[in-house]
């Protein structure tokens, strides 16, 4: 897992070289080899300014090399990069580190001239009251009766509603903290926030700062169960506006006194048990009872087989965005569920693009496992698709076009 790396959400812009080289007229239309990129740095905290001299970095990256060029801002926060070599196969981003926090945006150099780049930075603060959770989803992915374990995926969308970047204070309780079931193992955390994570008793903590706006945190794990029933308890330190707990039929039956009766919904072509709750206050607690858990057979006990769950980054991200988007559509069609419609987060085109990328990743994995594609091309293509999926997942929210 790539722990707490900064993901600028760069746009993967690929041009078909064969099309460009097909004729003399096509070659005459090739873009110029260099670009001039201009932009500015603004301070998003009320009453604050950015002094001249802040370092701005232009990054470029291809599958086999990376590069970086620096400049500094002048009066009114303006900056300029001249003579930038353009590579249609490269990914570009501009970053600036302000008060120890890295901020960045995607750059599209395919246009002549490139559109101006603007980066918003913020002052820092340590008021936990600025943080709240908009959506939280817990999906029980599957059950393994041989191991007597359940695999789970959680997606939390946290929001900083202030105009300052939250920076954890010196105390452990100042860190971003999230609960886990007892004896949870194989924890995998993915987020665009900067920092690392520390697994502690009954949970984990992120050492990340949180800029203003919305941010997703995705984590997967497995936890053991005994008998045919289990209980999953949660404490919501930051509250949560919309909570969803799901399990495919045949994995577990759900019940909760705090969340009411479970209902059955169709997500894609598969039925799920669904529990929902809204407007939970800070430090609210809920418990979900799981029943219908299967016990190991005699053959399972004799073989004591082990199972690996493919929760590397691309698979987890694909499962997460697919689960959330399909659930939103299912609940919206049913009516009455407190979910945000896809158009409010960027429109149906983004959802369609997500779906296509998820399908392509799955198809690529199958081809590799069947020996139809070599490891080198497989790894390169997988990185490409993952980068594009990451860019969509972390693209800033905005109105539908």
**Are residues 153 and 288 located together in one domain of the fold?**
yes
pTM of the model: 0.69
pLDDT value for 103: 94
**Are residues 115 and 136 located together in one domain of the fold?**
no
Q: Which domain holds residue 52?
A: 17-121
**Vertex 279: Cα angle to 276 and 283 (nearest 5):** 100
Domain for residue 214, yes or no?
yes
**Are residues 161 and 269 located together in one domain of the fold?**
yes
**Are residues 258 and 364 located together in one domain of the fold?**
no
Domain for residue 4, yes or no?
no
Domain for residue 317, yes or no?
no
Domain for residue 279, yes or no?
yes
> In a 3-state reduction of DSSP, which class is residue 171?
coil
Domain for residue 320, yes or no?
no
**Are residues 240 and 133 located together in one domain of the fold?**
yes
**Are residues 304 and 166 located together in one domain of the fold?**
yes
Please tell me the total count of domains within the chain.
3
Count of beta carbons in the 10 Å neighbourhood of residue 370 = 8
Residue that is last in its domain, among 121, 148, 178? 121
Instruction: Tokens 């999953």: give the residue.
Output: 232
Domain for residue 255, yes or no?
yes
Residue that is last in its domain, among 309, 330, 348? 309
Consecutive H or E run containing 367: helix 348-369
**Are residues 158 and 110 located together in one domain of the fold?**
no
**Are residues 150 and 252 located together in one domain of the fold?**
yes
Residue that is last in its domain, among 102, 121, 140? 121
> In a 3-state reduction of DSSP, which class is residue 4?
coil
Per-residue pLDDT band for 389 (boundaries 50, 70, 90) equals low
**Are residues 241 and 301 located together in one domain of the fold?**
yes
pLDDT value for 337: 39
* Cβ-contact 155, 136 below 8 angstroms: yes
pLDDT digits (tens, 9 = 90+) for 51-105: 999 999 999 988 778 899 999 999 899 999 999 999 988 889 999 999 999 999 9
* Cβ-contact 136, 61 below 8 angstroms: no
pLDDT digits (tens, 9 = 90+) for 8-59: 332 222 222 233 333 333 333 345 589 999 999 999 999 999 999 999 999 9
**Are residues 292 and 374 located together in one domain of the fold?**
no
**Are residues 147 and 241 located together in one domain of the fold?**
yes
Q: Where are any strands of DSSP class E within 249-371? A: 253-255, 263-267, 270-280, 284-291
CATH, residue 64: 2.60.40.10
**Are residues 175 and 274 located together in one domain of the fold?**
yes
């Amino acid at each position: 897992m790539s722990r707490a790396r900064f993901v600028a959400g760069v746009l993967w812009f690929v041009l078909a070289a064969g099309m460009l080289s097909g004729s003399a007229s096509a070659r005459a239309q090739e873009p110029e080899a260099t670009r001039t990129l201009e932009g500015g740095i603004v301070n998003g905290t009320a009453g604050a300014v950015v002094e001249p001299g802040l370092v701005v970095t232009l990054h470029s990256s291809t599958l086999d090399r990376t590069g970086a060029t620096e400049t500094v801002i002048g009066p009114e926060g303006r900056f300029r990069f001249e003579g930038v070599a353009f590579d249609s196969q490269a990914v570009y981003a501009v970053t600036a580190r302000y008060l120890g926090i890295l901020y960045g945006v995607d750059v599209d150099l395919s246009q002549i001239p490139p559109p101006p780049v603007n980066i918003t930075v913020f002052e820092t603060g340590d008021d936990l009251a600025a943080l709240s959770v908009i959506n939280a989803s817990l999906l029980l992915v599957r059950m393994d009766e041989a191991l007597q374990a359940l695999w789970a995926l959680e997606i939390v969308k946290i929001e900083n509603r202030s105009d300052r970047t939250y920076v954890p204070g010196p105390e452990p309780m100042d860190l971003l903290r999230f609960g886990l079931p007892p004896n949870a193992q194989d924890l995998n955390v993915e987020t665009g926030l900067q920092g690392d994570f520390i697994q502690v008793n009954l949970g984990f903590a992120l050492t990340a700062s949180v800029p203003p706006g919305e941010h997703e945190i995705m984590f997967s794990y497995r936890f053991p169960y005994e008998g045919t029933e289990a209980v999953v308890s949660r404490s919501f330190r930051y509250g949560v506006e919309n909570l969803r707990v799901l399990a495919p039929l045949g994995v577990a039956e759900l019940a909760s006194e705090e969340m009411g009766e479970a209902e059955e919904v169709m997500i894609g072509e598969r039925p799920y048990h669904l529990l929902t709750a809204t407007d939970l206050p800070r430090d609210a607690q809920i418990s979900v009872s799981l029943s219908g858990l299967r016990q190991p057979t005699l053959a399972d006990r004799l073989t004591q087989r082990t199972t690996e769950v493919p929760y590397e980054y691309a698979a987890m991200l694909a499962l997460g965005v697919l689960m959330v988007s399909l659930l939103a559509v299912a609940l919206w069609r049913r009516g009455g569920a407190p979910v945000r419609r896809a158009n409010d987060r960027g429109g149906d085109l983004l959802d369609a693009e997500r779906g296509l990328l998820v399908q392509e990743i799955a198809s690529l994995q199958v081809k590799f496992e069947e020996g139809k594609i070599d490891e080198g091309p497989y790894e390169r293509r997988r990185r490409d698709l993952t980068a594009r999926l990451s860019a969509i997942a972390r693209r800033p929210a905005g109105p539908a076009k």
